[in-house]
């Protein structure tokens, strides 16, 4: 298995299981860095492929696991190389922060599909220069999710526990890739999490 990938300086990925606070951190960093050249994004994207994915993971449109994995990879391709995407932002001198990226596929699609197959499917995509992993016990994450109303199909205790292990496996595979990595205990206050995240990426500014 080839774990050699390009590492894109200026690309920051926020990862973690559902309910770990990724979107909160993304928005907090965006507000903190208003005087910087920052672009924010997320996966699935708000494009047409992202809409299909959201329908599938919400249970409104059944897709077999390999099809869903390929859709995530296609959506990521648009996110990186499409108009207004990651590559364009970085080439313009911006910093790009995304809520979910490659490691979400390696954590979640591999719950139902072979890890090596998913890794190969995404093998042409660069690693982020900085990755922030928000660590949260599954029970706490599910408590947070419960306030949203209806859960997505992957938001169960068993699957989230397996996703944690998949994240660990995936991070370990790429730990020596040149990507900088920070783990934050997201049981801390949003303000504390944002401060730690900001300190980690501050070298980019």
What pLDDT shows up at residue 1? 46
Question: Are 96 and 12 in contact, with CB atoms under 8 Å apart?
Answer: yes
What pLDDT shows up at residue 10? 97
What is the rounded average pLDDT of the residues 152-157? 71
* pLDDT higher than 60, residue 54: yes
Question: Are 177 and 4 in contact, with CB atoms under 8 Å apart?
Answer: yes
pLDDT tens digits, 111-122: 999 999 999 999
pTM exceeds 0.85: yes
What pLDDT shows up at residue 112? 94
Alpha helices in the chain (DSSP H): 22-32, 48-57, 65-81, 86-91, 102-108, 115-121, 138-146, 157-173, 190-201
What pLDDT shows up at residue 151? 60
Q: What's the token pair of residue 123?
A: 């093998």
2 pLDDT band, cuts 50/70/90, is very low
Residue that wins the pLDDT comparison between 151 and 188? 188
What is the rounded average pLDDT of the residues 58-85? 93
* pLDDT higher than 80, residue 4: no
CA separation for the pair 189, 173 (Å, rounded): 30
Fold annotation for 7-204: Rossmann fold (3.40.50)
* pLDDT higher than 70, residue 3: no
């Amino acid at each position: 298995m080839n774990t050699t990938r390009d590492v894109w300086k200026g690309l920051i990925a926020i990862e973690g299981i559902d309910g770990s606070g990724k979107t909160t951190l993304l928005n907090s960093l965006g507000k903190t860095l208003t005087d910087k050249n920052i672009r924010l994004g997320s996966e699935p994207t708000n494009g047409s492929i992202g809409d299909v994915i959201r329908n599938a993971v919400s249970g409104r449109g059944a897709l077999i696991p390999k099809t869903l994995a390929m859709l995530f990879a296609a959506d990521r391709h648009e996110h990186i190389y499409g108009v207004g995407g990651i590559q364009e932002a970085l080439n313009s001198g911006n910093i790009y922060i995304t809520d979910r990226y490659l490691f979400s596929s390696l954590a979640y699609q591999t719950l139902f599909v072979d890890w090596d197959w998913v890794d190969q499917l995404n093998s042409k995509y660069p690693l982020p220069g900085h990755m922030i992993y928000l660590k949260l016990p599954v029970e706490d994450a599910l408590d947070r999710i419960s306030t949203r109303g209806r859960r997505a199909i992957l938001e169960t205790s068993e699957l989230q526990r397996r996703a944690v292990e998949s994240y660990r496996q995936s991070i370990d595979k790429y730990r020596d890739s040149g990507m900088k990595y920070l783990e934050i205990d997201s049981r801390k206050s949003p303000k504390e999490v944002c401060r730690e995240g900001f300190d980690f990426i501050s070298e980019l500014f």
